[in-house]
Amino acid sequence: MPLTSQAPGTLWIVATPLGNPGDLSPRARHIVSTADVLLSEDTRRTGQLLARCGITARRLMSFHDRNEAERQDEVLRLLHDGQQLALVSDAGTPLVADPGYRLVRACRAQGIRVSPVPGPSAPVTALSAAGIPPLPFTFLGFLPRDDAGRRQLFTAFARTPGSLVFFERKDRLPASLAVAAAVLGPREAAVCRELTKTHEEFILFRLEDHQRLSHELLGEITVIIGPPEQQERAAEDEARTCLRRLAAGHPSARSKELARLAQPELPGWSVKELYELLTRDDS
């Protein structure tokens, strides 16, 4: 891209409230009201926030997962022309499970200033009030939509010390918690919903008791799963390898017997879970 002789503008990464408009900082208010262009994940939702805060943006431009690639050249051109642009997501801190990474990386590569305007972030907000060990923690973003993808992700982080934090839709929450319980074993957990809003709620429970949760949970959901307890749980791939080895050495053994033989070798696994793993793989 040809560069002009004019000094490029700045891309401001602006955190916006999760729900309570009072959480918009004075600095964030100034940036979004004075920026030449406000890049918005959802212009309708951003417009509603601005109206509640009494702010009028100079120009709103949609910038989301589906158009990020095609909009990037236009955005970079505006920045090279010296304009000030601010990037916001629907709520919280942009790039944290929201669009913008490719744009920020391109700006860095082209010498365009990128400056954060920090503020609300759902993972940190949830960790601050849930009462589950906050450090260290690993943020997983939005989980894969299918059980196989979720199982693979949880297996990869099963031995990670510290808490796991992720976003999930209410309709997929029961299935995701079931996979998490099977892969991660007994742990503390919390479902944090509607953070900073009128119906804010922190539901603390044991991951192995996830079936007791209501399936009628509404709103935006952040899930925290506490650190591994006592001994680390053997990874699911390790459990499968162990079961295959035992099956080869005991060809006449039934699945329940194989599960009982494997259990002492696999920390964090119950005989029932190993039996269910065997029957699921055989189906």
What is 185-247 written as a DSSP string? Answer: -S-EEEEEESTTSTT-EEEEEEGGGGGGS-S---S-EEEEEPPP-SSPPPPHHHHHHHHHHHH
| Among candidate residues 120, 147, 175, the one where a domain is terminated | 120
Report how many domains make up the chain. Answer: 3
Position 231 scores a pLDDT of 60
Judgement on whether residues 213 and 257 belong to the same structural domain of the protein: no
- Say if residue 184 is in the same domain as residue 244: no
Q: Is the pLDDT of residue 244 over 80?
A: yes
For residues 148 and 175, membership in a common domain is answered with: yes
Q: Does a structural domain hold residue 20?
A: yes
- Residue 230: the pLDDT is 65
pLDDT in tens, 59-101: 999 999 888 888 999 999 999 999 999 999 989 999 998 889 9
Q: Are residues 198 and 135 in the same domain?
A: yes
- 246-265: average pLDDT: 90
Residue 4 located in a structural domain: no
Last residue within a domain, chosen from 120, 152, 185: 120
Domain boundary among 88, 120, 152: 120
Is 204 domain-assigned?
yes
Q: How confident is the model at residue 1 (pLDDT cuts 50, 70, 90)?
A: very low
Calpha distance 243→161 (Å, rounded): 26
Are 122 and 130 spatial neighbours (Cβ–Cβ below 8 Å)?
no
Distance between CA atoms of residues 44 and 54, nearest Å: 15
* 110 lies in the same domain as 188: no
Quick check: is 29 in a domain?
yes
Residues 221 and 263 in one domain: no
Q: How far apart are CA 166 and CA 180, in angstroms?
A: 11
Q: Which domain holds residue 259?
A: 236-282
Residues 128, 217: one domain?
A: yes
How far does Cα 246 stand from its chain's mean position? 38
∠ at Cα 74 (104, 87), nearest 5°? 40
Q: What percentage of the chain carries pLDDT values higher than 90?
A: 72
pLDDT at residue number 241: 92
**What's the Cα-to-Cα distance from 46 to each of 83, 208, 243, 252, rounded to whole Å?**
20, 39, 53, 64
Asked whether residue 5 is domain-assigned, the answer is no
The whole-number pLDDT of residue 45 equals 92
Q: State the residue for tokens 């890049």.
A: 39
d(CA 67, CA 70): 5
- Residue 278 pLDDT > 70: yes
217/266 same-domain check: no
User: In terms of DSSP H, where are the helices of the chain?
Assistant: 26-34, 43-52, 68-80, 101-109, 122-130, 147-156, 173-184, 236-249, 255-262, 271-282
Same domain, 189 and 208: yes
Query: What's the chain's average pLDDT?
Result: 91
Which tens digits make up the pLDDT trace of 162-209?
999 999 999 999 999 999 998 998 899 999 999 999 999 999 999 999
Q: Are residue 116 and residue 16 in the same domain, yes or no?
A: yes
Query: pTM of this prediction?
Result: 0.77
The mean pLDDT value for 122-128 works out to: 97
- The confidence score (pLDDT) of residue 3 equals 44
**Residue 11 predicted with pLDDT over 80:** yes
Nearest to 158 by CA among 137, 134, 184, 188: 184
71 and 84 share one domain: yes
Tokens of 283: 């189906």
The answer to whether residue 191 sits within a structural domain is: yes
**Can you give the pLDDT at residue 47?**
93
CATH of the domain at 144: 3.30.950.10
CATH of the domain at 15: 3.40.1010.10
Q: Which amino acid is at 9?
A: G
Q: What is d(CA 211, CA 247) in angstroms, rounded to the nearest whole number?
A: 31
Task: Say whether pLDDT at 276 is over 70.
Answer: yes
Give a yes or no: residue 137 inside a domain.
yes
- Among 9, 62, 57, CA closest to 32: 57
Answer whether residue 3 is part of any domain: no
The pLDDT of residue 130 is above 80:
yes
207 and 127 within one domain: yes
